[in-house]
Chains A and B, each alone.
Chain A
């Protein structure tokens, strides 16, 4: 057994002992648990990454309500081009990370959680699709639209937070 495999097994054991992670990783693709603890200002690098991503969202016009309507009315290739090339770049990057067994800048092995199927991906996916066409924004663009000066989108964001909260409240009664 090589060190990479040992690391993964040890990390899985750590996750099993860590019950908080169980709740946190529910209905989320975006969770990773690190065994390292850092001072808060280590998070500033994610602030910088967010600034870069916010600039990208605006310059790519991904936050444009008009672009979203064009996409859903098949009137422009732009959004398909953006998402398509983003996914291709992502696939190539993830493949390279796995192939080269890359580590994080803090020396931890990079682990990618796999996603289980749930009916939520269908029902929730459709609901989000409805909201995406109405608001012209997914969660990332909501933040970018506010930054770009559309102050009223704060209300849309608050409504999205309320939607997430109501989901949490009713989660046990919904089909999954």
Chain B
């Protein structure tokens, strides 16, 4: 029973990190697939709204594995949150917690803050910036960069590709600017 209790707690980085890294050889050995997720967004465009744009005119079915992988992540999220969780509030750094509380964020029960990411907030400026504008930048930016955290930061760096290091540094730089300078302004709205 102790093992189950342990699994239900959040996993420490020194367990979870190497397991995530092992996705790289797993996909290569299963079928020569390079680990990456953001391409699935492009395959969805190619499958659903190609609109005669040359960037989306290719046989997306050849990349269907990536869509199966993405669908699996949804199911995995469901299983982990439902069955493999102790439903305890998430541990948040005390400095961050105090700072967030000063903006009226009181719910620390889930990994996604329910006070910010909810259907009602979608129609406020705050929610619009966090969810719609943020999401758009994730989709546009990852494709423009040619990959996301998995494709560049994990797969690309594992294969010692220096362009992936450039991309990773830019991901981090962009995040530092927004999290420190803009998030406080947005939360203030």
Contacts and interface: CB of A to CB of B under 8 A. Distances in A.
Interface string B112-147: 110011110110000001111111111111111111
B133 to A, nearest CB: 7
Contacts of A153: 112, 117, 131
Interface residues of A, number: 129
B25 A50 contact: no
Interface string B24-37: 11111111111111
Contacts of A163: 41, 135-141, 143
B179 A73 contact: yes
Contacts of B136: 131, 159-160, 162-163, 166
A127 B70 contact: no
Contacts of B33: 30, 32, 46
A138 B45 CA distance: 18
A175 to B, nearest CB: 10
A54 B79 contact: yes
A96 B24 CA distance: 12
Contact residues on B (Cβ < 8 Å of other chain), bracket = 35 or more
Interface string B47-90: 00101011111110011111011111111111111101100001
A76 B10 CA distance: 15
A111 B32 contact: yes
Contacts of A144: 73-74, 76-77, 80
A153 B59 CA distance: 28
Interface string A125-149: 1111111111111111011111111
Interface in A97-131: 97, 102, 104-106, 108, 110-118, 120-131
A56 B146 contact: no
Interface in A46-91: 46-73, 75-79, 81-91
Given A24-B63, A132-B175, 11 more contacts: A29-B164, A31-B34, A70-B96, A105-B29, A120-B144, A121-B163, A125-B167, A128-B171, A134-B178, A147-B74, A164-B143
Interface of B: 7, 10-14, 16-42, 44-45, 49, 51, 53-59, 62-66, 68-82, 84-85, 90, 92-93, 95-96, 100, 108, 110-113, 116-119, 121-122, 129-164, 166-180, 182-183, 186
In the A-B complex, the 5 residue pairs with the closest CB atoms: A50-B72, A54-B76, A129-B174, A147-B77, A124-B144
21 contacts: A24-B59, A27-B146, A30-B39, A59-B11, A69-B96, A72-B180, A83-B149, A102-B29, A126-B170, A129-B171, A131-B136, A134-B137, A135-B134, A138-B138, A139-B150, A157-B135, A160-B142, A164-B38, A164-B42, A165-B53, A166-B136
Interface of A: 20, 23-24, 26-34, 40, 42-73, 75-79, 81-91, 93-94, 96-97, 102, 104-106, 108, 110-118, 120-140, 142-153, 155-169, 171, 174
